[in-house]
Amino acid sequence: GSPHEFIYQQIAEGTGDIGTTYTATGLRYLVEVSNDLRTWHSGPSVVTWSNRRETLPDGMERVGIHIIDPALSASPQIFTRLRIVVAE
């Protein structure tokens, strides 16, 4: 079947890759994935942009990612979170 999509909102007009290195107005949006809520994984080997990008009001956009890590994708349970951190 098709992979599950994690959808979230972020500030539009940023730079970098959605889900991994996307940064806008000094904030970095990082999607993290876990199968046990203890160890969290992120990066381009874990998630990829799903090609969803919808413009929203007030300078925001709705985007989506797919989990591409084979071990995490095959897990009977999977958890996804969005970390928003001050960009360095």
* pLDDT tens, residue by residue, 37-77: 999 999 999 999 999 999 999 999 999 999 999 999 899 99
pLDDT at position 1 over 50 = no
Dist CA 5 CA 75 (whole Å): 15
Q: What percent of the chain has pLDDT over 70?
A: 97
Cβ burial, residue 32 (10 Å; 0-12/13-18/19+): middle
pLDDT at position 7 over 90 = yes
CA dist list (Å): 84 to 47, 74, 76? 16, 26, 27
In the chain, the amino acid numbered 36 is D
pLDDT band for position 88 (cuts 50, 70, 90): confident
CA dist list (Å): 60 to 13, 25, 39, 86? 9, 12, 30, 18
